[in-house]
Structure 1
């Protein structure tokens, strides 16, 4: 098996994506997870760019990394200067990493129009910078920025810049599709040329502006690249970088390359979702391999076939990448779907109960419910049908009041009155809006009885008008997505009153969490 090294730049290039921001602690936590996954290189940032990155390189030295090597990123020396006196290179070396990555210009257009120097000076900048860092005892990777665009304009000069980096001592030269506009066949063709011209290892760094970053990365590896640079979940500027999750899975499963550490592939889904959490971003449901919908089946014909043999509608076993199969419930469902979704209740022999569940789902969807994104609510329907449902609490009353002062923001207050285990709880909370206030009051009443509710958080809230012809009196469907340390689940509520619809979805979310924790405790025996 050919080994392909994985170089993760989530902490540097990924953090340049819109809405992505990692704290110092986030960067250290993700570094540890990436090391556990078996990533070979972790680019921690650019030491000269901000104090946080400089502090990261000091703090990361105390992490007991088992596999990955931390890399500091920087640029070639300034034009018309010397490498020895360059502040950027000095800061790069002060990171005290075993490897540094230096980025330089490969395109003649970028050299003359952007940095404003001569082609000859740019070649010297590359060679001097690499040689100086090598002379300080560190390994050097060279990122050839805008390589594919530069090669298209002036192939002789583009190759000259690569050879300058190689002559300076770079052990790996990474060809960058910086603008993300190159086609896969062109990537393969040009990587093959670079492979013939250079003795150093070749890497690939693709951006996703044409939705081709993964295809381009695979094409580059097939043409001779042995290092892949990218980010978890494709985080990055503009349309993002290559998604390392998809790149790794395709290389390992489809092409049988050796990547990561043995046995690590099954942790892809876990690490992908962990990166989303640190970035405070919602999961991308349709993300290949690791998305919630990647192995989700909805149509009755599909679910019937998958129940017989998953290979009928799945290209791999989801467990290979740590994901799981999901059977979605909707009005398109047949009894095979209900059978698949209720296996843990062992009611396959009870055709009447399965028909009852299916009929209820179809009736509820007819009035506006939707269960394909609300598996938590569906599970509660099943519990009620099979007789295992027990209410954890009973609503006695709730009230939401919104007060708008003459100046300033509206003040929202929710009052909740519940019966819990024979006791009455009456709580009041303020929130940013009615749903936030209701959620806070509900949790305040329940957390003393069920402390693990503190683990649960609401991560998404969607509202959809069901029958718009009714105008402001139309029914609305509220779908809430919740998460704890282990799972993500959806719940749904429908009503002409948006607050009531929200209450129904919120209370289902909490009940599902309590049932889930109870079943886990029973299963684990503690």
Structure 2
């Protein structure tokens, strides 16, 4: 099995994405997860560009990694100076990484307009920068910036820049589609020309501006590349970089390339979500391989088929990347969906059980009113348990009141909720304040119930979404509230619908609390 080396640049290229910024401690934690995943190279940053990246290289030395090499990123020397006097080159060496990766200009347009030097001078600074680094760093990688655009504009010169890198004894030459505009069908001809010019191992660094970064990376490997650069979840500037969460399983499972072990591949979804958490971003549910919807089935015909043979509608077994098959329940559902969900929740249902048809009819009626269960599987499980009469009665809410007051213009409104709940024979009457009426209601419910059920203290509200359903009634329209809650072990979604946003939120909150108690007593 041919090996392909994985080079992750989430900590450098990934942080150039809009809305993404990692602390040094975050970067160290991500590096540890990447190492556990089996990534071969972890690019920690550009030590010559900011103090944070310098700190990372200091901190990562205190961590014992299993296999990954830490790479520092930079550029070739500046024109009209020498590597010995170039601050960027010296900072790279001072960072003391396992590997140094530098980029150089391949496109004659950039040489003339960005560097404002001659084409021959550019070849010299590529070569002598790499020669100098090879004397101080055991492994040096060269990123040929804008290679594909440069090749299309001036193929002879683009190839000369690669030859200058090879003559310096560089360990790998990475062909960069920096603007992300190259299409997969262009690779075979261009890479054949590259292979005729240099014999150094080749890599690929693809951006996603044409939605082809993953396809281009795989095509490059098919054309002989043995090194792939990318980021977790496709993070990166503009439209992002090649998504390693798609590249890795495609290489291993579909192209039979040696990358990570089977066990490491099973951690892919967890690593993906860990990085989303540290970036403070909501995971993309539709992301291939690792997203919540990657193996989710809604149509009744599909569900019936996958119950017999998963391969009918799944391109791989989801467990191989740490994911699971999910059956969605909606007004499109058939009996197979209900039975599949019952099995998932360890609920004993029979296809001929009248309760199955009753649940199906209830779902269709509720979705007609505005309910949505695809993102609220906890509410759906509670619905099934109520229909079967197996849902334990943990508590009942006798009533609640929410008050918003604003003392004067410019002041922040104050929210207070009062609730009265009954648990067993006891009634608890309490109040709480919050950041808005829903938060106040949530706090009051917890305050009343935590005395009876201390485990509710572990529960947190992660996401709150409000959707005004199109009914043509303006502010009197129906409102759907979706809430994502969770604890240290898992997350779950609940839903509430009403023409009153507080009432809709109340129903979603009650289901969230009920589900936590159900989970802990299963």
* Equivalent residue, structure 2, for 1:356: 358
Structure 1 stretch 8-17 or stretch 194-203: which is displaced more?
194-203
* Equivalent residue, structure 2, for 1:51: 51
Asked if the contact 1:80/1:121 (under 8 Å) is kept, the reply is: no
The verdict on how the C-alpha distance between 1:398 and 1:259 changes in structure 2, with shifts beyond 3 A counting, is same
Query: For residues 62-461 of structure 1, what are the structure 2 equivalents within 5 Å?
Result: 62-343=62-343, 344-348=346-350, 351-404=353-406, 405-420=408-423, 422-447=425-450, 449-461=452-464
* Equivalent residue, structure 2, for 1:510: 513
Give structure 2 stretches of 5+ with no counterpart: none
* Equivalent residue, structure 2, for 1:524: none
Matches of 2:453 and 2:94, distance apart in 1: 50
Matches of 1:86 and 1:445, distance apart in 2: 66
Using the size of structure 1 for normalisation, the TM-score is: 0.94
Aligned to 2:267, what secondary structure does the other structure show? helix
Asked if the contact 2:93/2:137 (under 8 Å) is kept, the reply is: no
Asked if the contact 2:100/2:137 (under 8 Å) is kept, the reply is: no
Aligned-residue offset at 1:9: 0.5
Give structure 1 stretches of 5+ with no counterpart: 520-526
Query: For residues 476-515 of structure 1, what are the structure 2 equivalents within 5 Å?
Result: 476-515=479-518
What's the CA shift string for 1:112-151, capped at 9, x where partnerless? 1123222222222211211111111331011111111111
Asked if the contact 2:204/2:228 (under 8 Å) is kept, the reply is: yes
Matches of 2:115 and 2:486, distance apart in 1: 47
Aligned-residue offset at 1:374: 1.0
Aligned to 1:469, what secondary structure does the other structure show? coil
Structure 1 stretch 156-165 or stretch 441-450: which is displaced more?
441-450
What's the CA shift string for 1:394-438, capped at 9, x where partnerless? 223322222233224333333333334555444444433222333
Aligned to 1:62, what secondary structure does the other structure show? coil
The verdict on how the C-alpha distance between 1:75 and 1:419 changes in structure 2, with shifts beyond 3 A counting, is farther
The verdict on how the C-alpha distance between 1:367 and 1:111 changes in structure 2, with shifts beyond 3 A counting, is same
Aligned to 1:111, what secondary structure does the other structure show? helix
The verdict on how the C-alpha distance between 1:416 and 1:160 changes in structure 2, with shifts beyond 3 A counting, is farther
Aligned-residue offset at 1:162: 1.3
Structure 1 stretch 126-135 or stretch 240-249: which is displaced more?
126-135
Matches of 2:223 and 2:289, distance apart in 1: 24
The verdict on how the C-alpha distance between 1:448 and 1:39 changes in structure 2, with shifts beyond 3 A counting, is farther
* Equivalent residue, structure 2, for 1:522: none
Aligned to 2:84, what secondary structure does the other structure show? coil
Matches of 1:486 and 1:189, distance apart in 2: 50
Matches of 1:370 and 1:106, distance apart in 2: 52
Structure 1 stretch 352-361 or stretch 70-79: which is displaced more?
352-361
The verdict on how the C-alpha distance between 1:65 and 1:436 changes in structure 2, with shifts beyond 3 A counting, is same
The two structures, once aligned, show a CA RMSD in angstroms of: 1.8
Matches of 2:422 and 2:63, distance apart in 1: 49
- Which of 473, 477, 481 aligns to 2:476? It is 473
Equivalenced residue count is 519
